[in-house]
């Protein structure tokens, strides 16, 4: 499972649990909170009505006095009210009064006058000087309950002589509770959706940053050119740290490898120079002296050429990018042909070119010119006297992407099978057919590095009719 998916799932689990807990808390508090507010209102109402009913109760006319008349008239009143979007047309109160023994003396509903309510909590507790309230099932709605809140009726001495209870069905506040719960759920779902979207974006961003670092590490492991990924915050610091570590490690390994291979390759020309110098210290015929002096010059030039090519190759290998500009590759080929004319004449080799179009590539003119020159010079070294070197430039489109192919072919002995996998290795070279000394073994390696730096590749193989053919593949500039 990818780390981005793991992060998202973990975040989703946390958000889901938090949303569930919050929803449970909010929903659990909505109903009690509304009922508590209603009970507080009923307490005020009961005590106000108890004060208003005191005179009629003491006079013995609580069931047919002015108080009873006004309370019963309440049922005929049209409220015409709009309470937070809900219409209210009539009162939902029930008011009843009991005496000191708990016997109902007045009931606004008219159904329980004379009944014994002394065992109900609202009456029982109030008669004993305590706060009396209860919640009982609603006989008209089995799924709901009725809240009863009582207040004492006091005489002038402050003694409890009766109880007035105000009852209100809880179903009267159900619409407000349901709407509040719906609002809480709706906004809870919106909040959860937004949280999940944020979590998804964060998980995608983290996965993307880590994926870039992983791709960079794989590219470095495979020996490919790769830039440190651009990232923000700690990921950017990690990328720069990896780039610094890679540069230092590659630099150390590069130096160690080059010192080892360079010293190995320099042993042969240095031994020839030392041997010729020792012989020149003794008296020699003029012809031998010239021969050994020429050997020293040849081997010195070989060392100088090796060092120059090694420096050029090192510069290319350590470049991660180039300042690419559009270039006509046919013009670069013509320049290389002119530069190689003296070498062609010295080797008695003809150059035959076939350039049918003028493809444009994006790259560095100096590096590409040097790479083409290395291919042509390598072909001249292996071409027999009187033969020809063919240079062909073409372009094609495959899979929607254009490619330029430069072919340099000779009519020499070709490349042995054992050497084909190694021709682009550093310091690997083959003996020249005309008896010349081996090259530095850096030319084809330089070509491969330049091709890779331009997003292309270099290949070398044998032709069906004899000889070798080198190809330089480069992306066609749009």
Token pair 């409890």 is found at 160
- pLDDT of amino acid 48: 94
* Backbone torsions φ then ψ of 155, nearest 5 degrees: -85, -175
Give the span between the Cα atoms of 406 and 469, in whole angstroms.
10
pLDDT at 29 over 80: no
Give the pLDDT band (50/70/90) at residue 299. Answer: low
The C-alpha atoms of residue 302 and residue 440 are separated, in whole angstroms, by 8
Read off the pLDDT of each residue in 418-423 and give the average, rounded to a whole number. 83
| Sheet strands (E) in 297-440 | 325-328, 350-355, 360-363, 388-398, 401-409
User: Alpha-carbon distance 389 to 348, whole Å?
Assistant: 11
Residue, of 432 and 317, whose pLDDT is higher = 432
Work out the average pLDDT over 309-324. Answer: 60
Kindly report the CATH class assigned to 225-320.
mainly alpha
pLDDT score for 254? 47
In this predicted structure, which of 77-81, 352-356, 409-413 has the lowest mean pLDDT?
77-81
Do 322 and 365 form a contact (C-beta atoms < 8 A)? no
Distance CA 139, CA 152 (A): 26
∠ Cα 215 220 225 (to 5°): 95
Under DSSP, the state recorded for 477 is: P
Phi, psi of 197 (to 5 degrees): -65, -45
- Compute CA distances 289 → 273, 302, 355, whole Å: 13, 20, 49
Distance, C-alpha 452 to centroid of its chain: 29
- The mean pLDDT of 194-219, rounded to a whole number, is 76
The encoded tokens of residue 444 equal: 């084809």
CB atoms inside a 10 Å sphere around CB 296: 17
Task: Answer yes or no: is pLDDT of 268 > 60.
Answer: no
Q: Is the pLDDT of residue 319 over 60?
A: no
Tell me which architecture the domain covering 15-179 has in CATH: 2-Layer Sandwich (3.30)
Measured distance CA(367)–CA(449) in Å, rounded: 10
Distance CA 360, CA 35 (A): 83
Run of H or E residues at 365? helix 365-382
Percent of the chain's residues with pLDDT above 70: 74
- Residue 66 is predicted with a pLDDT of 92
**Residue range 169-183: average pLDDT?**
75
Greater confidence (68 vs 78) lies with 68
Query: Would you state the pLDDT for residue 204?
Result: 78
Average pLDDT over residues 409-419: 86
Task: Give the model's pLDDT for residue 77.
Answer: 81
Kindly report the backbone phi and psi dihedral angles of residue 348, in degrees, each rounded to the nearest multiple of 5, phi listed first. Answer: 55, 45
Q: How far apart are CA 231 and CA 149, in angstroms?
A: 67
Long-range contacts formed by 318-321: CB under 8 A, 24+ apart: 318/254, 319/453, 320/225, 320/226, 320/227, 321/227, 321/453
* 476 or 225, greater pLDDT: 476
CA distance 436 to 442: 17
Domain range summary for the chain, segments of one domain joined by +: 15-179, 225-320, 322-478
HSE, side-chain direction, 13 A CA sphere, residue 189: 5
Lowest model confidence (mean pLDDT) among 317-331, 392-406, 428-442, 453-467 = 428-442
CA–CA separation, 467 vs 412, rounded Å? 4
Mean pLDDT across 400-427:
83
What is residue 131's predicted lDDT score, i.e. its pLDDT? Answer: 94
Reply yes or no on whether the pLDDT at 98 is more than 90.
yes
Sign of CA dihedral 20, 21, 27, 30: negative
pLDDT score of 356 more than 90: no
Percent of the chain with pLDDT over 90: 17
Spatial separation of the C-alpha atoms in residues 278 and 389, rounded to whole Å: 41
Tell me: pLDDT of 435 over 60.
Answer: no
pLDDT, position 130: 93
- Quickly name the fold that domain 322-478 has: Heat Shock Protein 90 (3.30.565)
Least reliable range by pLDDT among 58-62, 308-312, 328-332, 439-443: 308-312
Q: What does pTM read for this prediction?
A: 0.44
Q: Answer whether residue 158 shows pLDDT above 80.
A: yes
Helix, strand, or coil here: 440?
coil
Q: What is the pLDDT of residue 67?
A: 93
> What is the maximum alpha-carbon separation in the chain?
161
Cα separation, 305 vs 439, whole angstroms: 9
**Listed range (209-223, 227-241, 279-293) with the worst mean pLDDT:** 227-241
DSSP type of residue 399: T
User: What's the whole-number mean pLDDT along residues 156-164?
Assistant: 92
Reported confidence tier of residue 153, pLDDT bands at 50, 70, 90: very high
For residue 424, give Cα distances in angstroms to 353, 410, 465. Answer: 24, 18, 23
* pLDDT for the residue numbered 361: 87
Higher-pLDDT residue of 471, 444:
471
Most confident of 89-103, 209-223, 257-271: 89-103
Which residues share a beta bridge with 355? 393
What is the model's pLDDT at position 122?
A: 93
Residue closest to 320 by CA, chosen among 411, 421, 219? 219
For all residues of the chain together, what is the average pLDDT?
Answer: 79
The number of residues making up the chain comes to: 478
């Amino acid at each position: 499972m990818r780390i981005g998916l793991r992060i998202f799932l973990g975040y989703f689990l946390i958000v889901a649990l938090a949303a569930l807990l919050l929803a449970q808390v909010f929903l659990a508090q909505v109903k009690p909170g509304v009922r508590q507010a209603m009970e507080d209102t009923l307490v005020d109402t009961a005590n106000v009505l108890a004060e208003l009913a005191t005179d009629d109760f003491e006079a013995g006319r609580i069931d047919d006095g002015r108080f009873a008349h006004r309370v019963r008239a309440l049922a005929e009143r049209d409220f015409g009210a709009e309470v937070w979007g809900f219409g209210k047309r009539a009162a939902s109160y029930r008011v009843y009064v009991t005496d000191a023994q708990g016997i109902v003396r007045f009931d606004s509903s008219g159904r329980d006058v004379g009944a014994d309510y002394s065992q109900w909590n609202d009456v029982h507790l109030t008669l004993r000087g305590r706060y009396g309230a209860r919640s009982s099932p609603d006989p008209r709605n089995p799924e709901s309950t009725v809240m009863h809140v009582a207040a004492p009726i006091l005489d002038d001495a402050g003694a409890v002589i009766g109880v007035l209870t105000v009852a209100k069905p809880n179903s009267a506040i159900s619409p407000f509770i349901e709407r509040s719960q719906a609002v809480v759920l709706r906004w809870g779902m919106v909040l959860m959706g937004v949280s999940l979207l944020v979590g998804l974006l964060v998980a995608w961003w983290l996965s993307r940053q880590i994926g870039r670092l992983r791709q960079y590490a794989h590219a470095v492991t495979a020996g490919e050119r790769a830039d440190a990924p651009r990232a923000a915050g700690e990921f950017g610091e990690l990328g720069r740290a990896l780039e610094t570590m890679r540069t230092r490690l590659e630099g150390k390994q590069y130096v160690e490898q080059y010192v080892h291979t360079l010293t190995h390759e320099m042993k042969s020309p240095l031994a020839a120079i030392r041997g010729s110098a020792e012989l020149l210290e003794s008296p020699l015929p003029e012809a031998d002296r010239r021969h050994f002096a020429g050997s020293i010059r040849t081997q010195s030039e070989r060392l100088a050429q090796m060092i120059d090519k090694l420096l050029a190759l090192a510069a290319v290998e350590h470049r991660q990018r180039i300042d690419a500009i559009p270039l006509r590759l046919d013009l670069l080929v013509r320049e290389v042909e002119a530069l190689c004319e003296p070498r062609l004449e010295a080797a008695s080799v003809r150059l035959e070119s076939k350039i049918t179009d003028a493809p444009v590539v994006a790259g560095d003119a100096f590096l590409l010119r040097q790479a083409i020159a290395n291919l042509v010079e390598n072909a001249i070294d292996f071409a027999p006297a009187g033969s020809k070197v063919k240079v062909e430039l073409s372009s094609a489109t495959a899979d929607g992407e254009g490619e330029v192919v430069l072919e340099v072919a000779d009519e020499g002995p070709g490349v042995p099978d054992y050497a084909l996998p190694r021709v682009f290795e550093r310091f690997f070279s083959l003996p020249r057919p005309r008896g010349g000394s081996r090259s530095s073994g850096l030319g084809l390696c330089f070509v491969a590095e330049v091709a890779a730096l331009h997003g292309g590749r270099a290949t070398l193989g044998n032709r069906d009719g004899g000889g070798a053919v080198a190809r330089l593949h480069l992306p066609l500039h749009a």
